[in-house]
Structure 1
């Protein structure tokens, strides 16, 4: 198995190499790169890896930029200190998302998922995506499960299951819990939308991202819009324009 490591921390890259070769002595590390630019140069040539271990935040940008310049067909194991990129990672050939500091067991589990993926496609059957994701032991990301908030001089976490909606207020982003508690949060609504489960939350408009469990009822409104009512009061009337209505109703039905 030919493996590439893309990691800008040399000590971490060396540690990862040692773990890989300890678990898979037959593997060959055919390249180690520290930047988006060098990775693109290498992958644009004749390099043919079977697997890539890739950090997300590199010295010259996010490694997702690599995919915009070269076509990567092999599985990718993302290794990062941050959990907010999981959804994007699984859109980019990601078969596992390993949080730093990683252990030997973490990398071993990543190899298990890679092997499972390989075996699945060797069965010469039409792949069923749901079955595949199940076999990978949760490779389909459930999305970010909690958010760190600061209120009353204390840090605490709010689980996404307890969040009725996110919304933009006074040019900042806030969380509204089912219990009526409100918290300011540093991430933008765009970042939050990318991080949470698209099955659990829907961006109804530019200002609101709502939890499916918070929806009480939906009514037709003027100009073919939809009026969404939640089980708790919102500061603004939630309207979905006609261009987005069909997608919203499909999302509502897809349970």
Structure 2
């Protein structure tokens, strides 16, 4: 398998390369590019990858510009710090959408999806389109979560949730009425399950509901300080790289 990496962060690219070699020792890394321009030039030539790991925000723009300039026929695994591009990703040969910082398990699952799709086409001369789409397109957004507390199961509707956050290495729900519940899913998994229009991953620890946001202040080092209608255990800070996306998300109503 010939694998291409399109990633503008050298440290991330190196980490990804090491994981690929560890998981797929027989794979051949045929290149690493950091920009839209470099990628278009390479893919327009004789470079023929079987799989591409691609960051979304590159040094000179969004990776989706690559698809406008060159035809890509192989599957693509998108690796990004932002969750708001998932629909565009699955429209652009995407077989998986991994949020940074990714783990070995994330990359292993990506290869598993690629192998499943490869087997799917090998076994079926006339693939069922609905079945194929079910494999590629994320499940419908969750509207509620089943929780267990005080020896009882109950459901919490997403509209009741002010934010999800990581507490003591596990994920919890904080409701607007300040009831708190533990969840078995990771915050990365929840980010993909709920509406990206309703919830935003402000940092690695918090996924917040738009309706919970009270005000936003400028903070040191071009960060944003987000205040919610209920108090949070930690100060919610958004780094400068993510600030513009957050403000665009806030304005997109």
Q: Determine if the TM-score, normalized by the shorter chain, exceeds 0.5.
A: yes
Distance 1:156 1:142, change over 3 A: farther
TM norm structure 1: 0.59
Distance 1:62 1:131, change over 3 A: same
Query: 1:186 and 2:184 equivalent?
Result: no
Partner residue, 2:115: 115
TM-superposed deviation, 1:187: 3.5
Hey, what's the Cα distance between the residues in 1 that align with 2:138 and 2:91? 10
Hey, what's the Cα distance between the residues in 2 that align with 1:60 and 1:16? 21
Q: 1:151 aligns with which of 170, 195, 214?
A: 214
Q: Over residues 205-226 of structure 1, what are the superposed CA-to-partner deviations in whole Å (9 max), with x where a residue is unaligned? A: xxxxxxxxxxxxxxxxxxxxxx
| Corresponding residue SS for 2:4 | strand
| Corresponding residue SS for 2:132 | helix
Q: Any conservation in 2 of the 1:8–1:34 contact (CA below 8 Å)?
A: yes
TM-superposed deviation, 1:156: 7.0
Q: Any conservation in 2 of the 1:90–1:141 contact (CA below 8 Å)?
A: no
Q: Any conservation in 2 of the 1:86–1:141 contact (CA below 8 Å)?
A: no
Structure number with larger C-alpha Rg: 1
Partner residue, 1:73: 73
Partner residue, 1:87: 87
RMSD: 2.2
Q: Any conservation in 2 of the 1:96–1:139 contact (CA below 8 Å)?
A: no
Partner residue, 1:99: 99
Partner residue, 2:131: 131
Unmatched tracts of structure 2, length 5 or more: 142-193, 200-207, 216-225, 231-247
Distance 1:73 1:156, change over 3 A: farther
Distance 1:141 1:77, change over 3 A: farther
Deviation above 4 Å: which 4+ runs of structure 1? Answer: none
Hey, what's the Cα distance between the residues in 2 that align with 1:48 and 1:89? 20
TM-superposed deviation, 1:141: 5.5
Q: Any conservation in 2 of the 1:95–1:113 contact (CA below 8 Å)?
A: yes
